[in-house]
Amino acid sequence: MSAAQEFFGMPSPLAPQERGGSPGHSGPAVFRLALTEPTAIDPYRSQEVEGILVTKALFVGLLTVDGEGRLEPAVAHRWDCTDDGLTWTFSLRTDVRFSNGEPVDADSFRRAWSRACDPVAGSETTYHLAGVEGCADAVAGRTPELSGVLAPDPATLVVRLTAPDFEFDKKTLQPVFSPVPRVAGGALDPVFNDEPVGNGPFRLDGPWRHHEGIRLVRNEHWFGEPPALDVVEITLLDPADAVEREYQGFLDGRFDFARIPPQNLAEAARSHPDGFLEQDLAGVNYLLPFLMGPPMDRRAAREAVSWAIDRDAIIAEVFGGYRTRAASLVPPSLPGAHQPDLAPSCVRHDPELARKCAAEAGLSPGTALDLAYNTGAGHEPWIEAVARQLRTVLGLDVRTHAMTPRQLVEYRTGPDARGLCRAAWAFDYPTPDNVLFPLLHSSCTRPDADGVAHGDNEGRYVNPAFDAALERARGSRDAAERDRWFREAERIAVAEDLAIVPLWFRTHHRVFDAEAFTGVRLDFYGNPTLPHIRPVSAPPAHEDAAAGAGPLEGK
C-alpha cells in the first residue's frame, strides 16, 4: 500500500462523548448570524460558501480538515490507496448515526454518490466524482449506480478510479461525498432538499424557510463532542444589500457574527479588537473572461485588461490594504505549487502595455465591454474601481451589470455571456487540483445543445496541453512531482493563455460578539467553526473530551 493515512493511538477530534445534557449556562445557547439564500443545503449540489456552511453543520464525510488544510479522520478512521493510485479503501467507524438514528455505513456513501450522479438532477458538483469508475455512465443515465463504489461490508468502502489519483482522499471533503440515509430518496426529492437528514453535529429544526431563515439545533446522535451551542439561528437576507444589513445587524445586537463591508474594515478592527477576525484562506478572486466570443476570445484583449488594472491601488483605496495581490490561482497556503509572480500583467500596472495589447486585439476606444457581478457581498466599490480604470486607460465603454447570485450563475453559464464577470473560488479541499481542474479542464465546460455550460469552467477554456499536464500531476505518487506538474499546468493556463485574470487572494474579515462567545474562528472554508463556539458563561470542555474513543485501529 502507498499514500496511507494512519492514526495510531491518536485522539480523534470526533471521538464519542458522554451524554451529559446541555452545557452549564443559563438558558439555551443561541448563536445568530445572517446569510444570503444558499443554492442548496442538500449535499448532492451544495457548492457556495453559504450552502457549505449549513451542509457542513448537518453532514460529515469520510474525512475532515483542520484550519491549516490538514486531513483528519471523520467517519473513516483509516484510509489508503494502492501503489498504482487506482483503488482507495476507507475503513469506517461503526458508531456513527444519522440524526434520525439510522446507522451510517458503507452503503450510505454508495447511495449518496450514485444519487448525486442522477442525470435528472443535473448537479453542478458531480465533477468532483468524475474520476470514480462508472461516473460517466451514471451521469449519462446508462446505469443507476457507480460501478466503482463497493461496500464489501458495512465498515469498508472501496473506491475504484478510472485513472491514478493520489489525492482522491482530499476530494472527499466536498459535500457531494457526504453519506445520506435511506429516506433521502432521489436527488430532486423536495422534502429532503429542504430538510436533509445528516450525521453532523447539528440537525435542522424544521425545513429551510426560503428567503427567510434556517434553524439548526444540536444533533443528539452526533458521535463527537456535543456542541456547546443549542441553537444556530440563520437569517436569510436580500442579496441586494446583504453585507451592509448584516454588519448593521451586528452593531444593533441582532446578530452575533457578521461580514464587514470593505469601507468599514478599519472601523471594525478598531471598535471590536477582540472580535475582529482576519484570515487568509485557500481561494482567489478573479475576473472571468468569456472565451467563446469577442472581445475576450483574443488573448491580447485579456492582457490589455490585466495590464490596465492597478490592483495595488484598489487594494489600498477600497480595502484599506486588507488584501493580497494575486498573480496566480494557486494561493500561498499551498506553498509547493504556489507561483507568486506567475502572470506578469498581474504583478504591475502598465497603461502603455495595456494600450499596446488593446491595439493588437482590435480593442479600440469606445468598444463596449460587459462586466457582470453579484450584489449583496460588498463588491460594488471595487467593481466600479476596475471599470473606472478600464475606461481611463483603454477608453472602453465598460457596462457594469449588477445581478443577484442566482441571476449571475444563470448568466455566466448561459450562451449569451460576453466580456468579463466577477468571480471567486473558495477551495473545497487543499490541493491545486481543486482550482485548476474545475475552472480550466476541458471536461468541466460541457455546453449542451442550447449552449448552456454544465461545469465550473464557465469561461469555456480548452487547451489539450493544460489537460495533459494536470493529468500528469494526478498520476504522480511523489508530492514534489505532483506540484511540478501542477505548476506547469497553471503556467500554461495563466501565464501563457491568461484564461483567467487573477486579482487578489481570498482573505475573510468577520466580526463577532467577543463578550458573549468564545472559540469563534474561521474554518478552512471561511465559515465560523460552529461546533467549537461556546458562550462565555459555559464551562470549558473537559480536557479529555477528545480521547473518548481510545487508540485507533492500525493496519
Q: In sequence order, what DSSP letters do the residues of 494-507 get, joined into one string?
A: IIIT--SEEEEEEE
Q: What is the mean predicted confidence (pLDDT) over 337-344?
A: 96
Number of C-beta neighbours around residue 98 at 10 A = 25
Q: What is the mean predicted confidence (pLDDT) over 496-502?
A: 98
**In the predicted structure, residue 225 carries a pLDDT above the cut 90:** yes
What's the chain's average pLDDT? 90
pLDDT of 267 reads: 95
Domain at 280-507, CATH class: alpha beta
CATH 3.40.190.10 given to domain 2-17+28-243+513-540: yes
SS3 347: helix
**In the predicted structure, residue 23 carries a pLDDT above the cut 60:** no
Give the length of the chain.
555
The per-residue pLDDT for range 531-540, each reduced to its tens digit, is 999 999 866 5
Q: What is the 3-state secondary structure of 428-496?
A: CCCCCHHHHHHHHCHHHCCCCCCCCCCCCCCCCCCCHHHHHHHHHHHCCCCHHHHHHHHHHHHHHHHHH
pLDDT of 537 reads: 82
The more confidently predicted of residues 473 and 241 is: 473
pLDDT of 109 reads: 98
pLDDT of 466 reads: 98
Determine contact, residues 533/520, Cβ cutoff 8 Å.
yes
The candidate with the shortest Cα–Cα distance to 528, out of 49, 137, 160, is 49
Q: pLDDT band for position 6 (50/70/90)?
A: very low
Instruction: Output the DSSP codes for 63-109.
Output: EEE-TTS-EEESSEEEEEE-TTS-EEEEEEPSS-B-TTSPBP-HHHH
Distance CA 122, CA 92 (A): 29
pLDDT of 445 reads: 85
For residue 88, how far is the Cα from the chain centroid? 23
The per-residue pLDDT for range 312-334, each reduced to its tens digit, is 999 999 998 989 999 999 999 99
Q: pLDDT band for position 547 (50/70/90)?
A: very low
* 156-160 vs 87-92, strand pairing mode: antiparallel
96: cell is 456513527
Please tell me if the domain spanning 2-17+28-243+513-540 has the same topology as the one spanning 280-507.
no
pLDDT of 452 reads: 85
User: What one-letter code names the amino acid at 498?
Assistant: L
Question: For the chain, how far is it from start to end, CA to CA, in angstroms?
Answer: 10
Q: Identify whether 295 is preceded by a cis peptide bond (ω within 30 of 0).
A: yes
Distance CA 207, CA 71 (A): 31
DSSP one-letter code for 211 = T
SS3 239: coil
**In the predicted structure, residue 545 carries a pLDDT above the cut 60:** no
Residue with cell 461580514: 259
The per-residue pLDDT for range 288-309, each reduced to its tens digit, is 999 999 999 999 999 999 999 9
pLDDT of 540 reads: 59
Question: Which of these ranges, 22-36, 50-64, 269-283, 414-428, has the smallest mean pLDDT?
Answer: 22-36
SS3 37: coil
SS3 353: helix
Distance CA 412, CA 403 (A): 11
Residue with cell 505548476: 487
The domain segmentation of the chain, as residue ranges, is: 2-17+28-243+513-540, 280-507
273: cell is 479588537
* 2-5 vs 76-81, strand pairing mode: antiparallel
Q: pLDDT band for position 16 (50/70/90)?
A: very low
pLDDT of 17 reads: 33
* 276-289 vs 420-426, strand pairing mode: antiparallel
The per-residue pLDDT for range 157-194, each reduced to its tens digit, is 999 999 999 999 999 999 999 999 999 999 999 999 99
User: What one-letter code names the amino acid at 151?
Assistant: A
Distance CA 360, CA 344 (A): 18
Determine contact, residues 351/304, Cβ cutoff 8 Å.
no
Number of C-beta neighbours around residue 83 at 10 A = 11
